[in-house]
Amino acid sequence: MMERVILVDEHDREIGEAEKLEAHAGGKLHRAFSIFVFNSEKHLLLQKRAASKYHSGGLWSNTCCGHPRPGETTQAAARRRLREEMNFSCELRAAFEFLYRAEFANGLVEHEYDHVLTGKFDGVPAPDESEVEGWKWVRLDKLRAEMKDRPDDYTYWLKLALSTEHWPRVEQALRVG
């Protein structure tokens, strides 16, 4: 089954739909989400994307990310993908949104209106190995230092979501959560 994504304008208003790889090949702006799950010690759960992913394979990223399907809410899609990729569920709360565009060496383009959601979980994930080849809990200060020292080990959107521009919103989400 070909997966479809929701095309949006720069204000996240739906303007159509497209097949997922077609949207990424053409750099079409589409709706996406990034999930940041923290434990009670405020460590972030990172995943290492499977090397076989269509882009950014083998890189460390946030807990889970994906795209709502046409007719699916962002919250429902986020819950679905968290279960599919990491094999657990938790309450997810909207934290902030941002728009970005990144071009990859393989010719694909991430042009996304990204909804960031946060959650809390103190268990042990059991990720789908076809999606995730590793995981770890990390303190945010340590992660920011590692991303500065080895930026090529991390996904573009993770670095952007944790950038100086968005950092106050991440801290706010942690206080609320």
Annotated catalytic residue 112? yes
Task: List the catalytic residue out of 65, 90, 110, 131.
Answer: 65
Annotated catalytic residue 65: yes
Number of Cβ within a 10 Å radius of residue 149: 8
Given 85, 110, 112, 131, the catalytic residue: 112
CB count within 10 Å of CB 177 equals 16
What is the residue-wise DSSP string for 115-166?
A: EEEEEE--S-----TTTEEEEEEEEHHHHHHHHHH-GGGB-HHHHHHTSTTT
DSSP conformation class of 108? -
* Alpha helices, DSSP H, located in 27-118: 74-86
Residue 111 has, within 13 A of its CA and on its CB side, a CA count of 19
User: Hey, which residues are catalytic here?
Assistant: 65, 112
